[in-house]
Amino acid sequence: MAPQSISYLLPDGLDLDGLRHQLAESNSLREEALSKAGQTFFDSFDWRVWQAGGELVQERDEINRICWVDRRSGEYLECELSDAIPGFSGELPAGPLRERLTPVLEMRALLPLVTITQQRRTLRVLDDEEKTVVRVVLQENRFTSIDGKLSGELEGRVLLKPLKGYDDHFEALHAQLEKLQLIPAERTLYEDALAGIGRKPGDYSPKLNYMLDPDARADATAKKIMLSLLDTLEANVDGTKANLDSEFLHDLRVATRRTRSAMTQIKSVFDPRELAPFKDGFGWLGKVTGPTRDMDVYLLQFPEYRASLPAPIQADLDPFHDFLVKHHEEAQKTLVKKINSPHFRKLMKSWRAWLNQPLPKKPKAPNALRPIAELSDQRIRKLYLKVIKDGEAIKPDSKPELLHNLRKDCKKLRYMMEFFQSLYPKPEIRSLIKEMKTLLDNLGEFQDLQVQAESLETFGKQMMKEGAPASALMAMGILVGKLLERQARAREEFAGLFEAFSSTPNRQAFQKLFYGSL
């Protein structure tokens, strides 16, 4: 395999000039003119590029380009010449970079994170034809935050860059630099720059991953979970207001829903009178964020809707897209008002204050002092039995409401298993959560498709009033038919999926995990 660039830090007692001097003694060197370059790094809010093993950088040099760099090897895997600031992957020109980014980012937008300005002195090592065979780049780096408020020097680096076809020369220089005790950098320059602005790759994730102490007080543990959910919720407020992409609002809503579930399902650990105003508050938040999310969902699904229609009438659906965009805008405006309202600010502030309050020494709530592992076992057991009972009661001709109710119970159960997963052996709990998710996806599909079909009919009526052409309504009619067909399929699949979920091995697994404290 061809060698990769190596980034080094200098040992104590050797600076960039000293290194240059050392290298000149045993190599034929030529120094290029000093050059300056700027790099801005991008990722989605939830670090998808990083999670996928990459760094996305826009370089401003003689040419401007956006590149996906492999973060382990430093290799530039895909580049696209572009001056434009990247946002959604679909906005990039068609090509390999877009192909790589699209499945990674999905609906998420790229956001600028940090900028590095680099002063480079490039030393070219020459052979007897005076051909360059290796490059050694002495870099002085500065980081700057995107708002320009934070900036500073980063440690100088030495980049050893191979030239294709000159591996032997590279190895010789490599050996020489190691002998001079240069230290291969463990972190990439990007990570250094992020550290400079107080960030770390992966420092935001909407996933639940708490490390809980099984013997801790139940009320303390509940607060810990709720505080973390509040952090997630608040982290998404600015992005939701600015509508940077649809997932800020989505994550905010999920955190809201989980908070509500934690309040009701981690039962009897707090004084219900204290909790009541917050239950109301988060109920309100769920409600006021709903309309915008609905529009987001239809907009995200639109390409799929359109593609599901026969080709000649696909374009007929476009007025529906215009309708969605318009109503999304209105819903977003209303949402921003609600988030900017004193009511929302007060809710966040008072909730955090309450969560940070010291716990009472002698709480009245009956479960407050119980070890969390015991309460978790008990609650999950109860919810699980309810799911099994309700699921078994569902027959092929049962009303849709029964499935909707089952979905709610399943969600509660899933949240509880996710909150408390660190209390159980990892592979087992993960596998049960996965089983739960399969069933929930089916129930979700069944309900969502019904809601979508109903909403489309309502939207159609509204569009008619707003003067949409008849062809659009016809296309929507066909679409409703398709959605209902899919819903019927989901309904048919339910029985088999539920049977799998409630199968003997799964029951045994549930028993093994959650009946420990019986």
Partner 1 sequence: MHIIGVYNIKGGVGKTATAVNLAYLAAKQGYRTLIWDLDPQAAATFYFRIKPKVKGGSKKLVAGKIDLDEVVKATDFENLDMLPADFSYRNMDLRLEDAKKPTKQLLKLLRPLSQAYDYVFLDCPPSISLVSENIFRAAEGLLLPLIPTTLSLRTYQQLLDFLEGHRITGLELMPFFSMVDRRKRMHLDVMRELPDEREELLKAQIPYASDVEKMGIHRMPVEAFAPHSFAASAYQALWMDVQKRLGK
Interaction site with partner 1 (CB under 8 A): 62-63, 65, 79, 81, 96, 124, 129-132, 163-166
CA angle in degrees (0–180, nearest 5) for 362-364-369? 60
Residue type for position 496: G
Shortest distance (Å) from residue 236 CB to partner 1: 37
Closer CB to partner 1, 136 or 244, in the complex: 136
Nearest CB to partner 1, comparing residues 65 and 381: 65
| Under 8 Å between Cβ of 246 and 45 | no
Nearer to partner 1, 166 or 459 (CB): 166
Q: Where are the alpha helices (DSSP H) in 9-142?
A: 16-26, 48-51, 96-105
In the three-class reduction of DSSP (H, G, I as helix; E, B as strand; rest coil), residue 397 is classed as coil
In the complex, minimum distance from the CB of residue 130 to partner 1, in angstroms, rounded to a whole number: 6
CB of residue 79 vs partner 1: minimum separation in angstroms?
A: 7
- Rounded to whole angstroms, how far apart are CA atoms 370 and 269? 9
CB closer to partner 1 out of 62 and 186: 62
Q: Whole-number minimum distance, CB 338 to partner 1, in Å?
A: 46
CA torsion, ordered 222, 227, 232, 237, to nearest 10 deg? 130
User: Could you tell me which residues come within 8 angstroms of residue 108 by beta carbon, excluding any fewer than 6 positions away?
Assistant: 44, 45, 46, 48, 245, 247
Tokens encoding 158: 């030495």
Q: For residue 54, what are its two tokens?
A: 């990459």
Phi–psi pair at 360, nearest 5 degrees: -65, 145
Closer Cβ to partner 1, 51 or 82, answer by number: 82
* Nearest distance from C-beta of residue 2 to partner 1, angstroms: 9
Please provide the distance, in angstroms rounded to a whole number, between the alpha carbons at the two ends of the chain.
58
Q: How far is CA 49 from the centre of its chain?
A: 10
Q: How far is the CB of 163 from partner 1 (least distance, A)?
A: 4
CB of 64 to partner 1, least distance (A): 8
Q: Judged by CB, which is closer to partner 1: 169, or 407?
A: 169
Of 35 and 508, nearer to partner 1 (C-beta) is 35
Element (H, E) at 60: strand 54-60
How far apart CA 186 and CA 317 sit, in angstroms, is 53
Beta bridge partners of 55: 69
Backbone angles phi, psi at 213, to 5 degrees: -95, 120
CB distance 83 to 66 below 8 Å: no
Q: Which long-range contacts (CB under 8 A, 24 or more apart) does 302-307 make?
A: 305/479
Least Å distance, CB 418 to partner 1, is 41
Beta bridge partners of 60: 38, 64
Cα 495 to the chain's mean position, in Å?
32
Cα–Cα distance for residue pair 96/89, rounded to 1 Å:
11
Nearest distance from C-beta of residue 92 to partner 1, angstroms: 15
Burial of 163 (0-12, 13-18, 19+ CB in 10 A): middle
Q: Which is nearer to partner 1, 83 or 155 (CB)?
A: 83
| Choice between 80 and 247, CB closer to partner 1 | 80
- Among residues 137 and 339, whose Cβ is nearest to partner 1? 137
Tokens of 34: 């000093």
Q: Closer to partner 1 at the Cβ: 76 or 284? A: 76
Closest contact distance (angstroms) between CB of 103 and partner 1 is: 18
For residue 218, what are its two tokens? Answer: 């139940």
Residue closer to partner 1, measured from CB, 95 or 277: 95
Nearest-angstrom CA–CA distance, 357 and 375? 22
Alpha-helical (H) ranges within 341-371 are 342-356
Tell me the closest approach of the beta carbon of residue 159 to partner 1, in angstroms.
14
Query: In whole angstroms, how close is the CB of 61 to partner 1 at the nearest point?
Result: 9
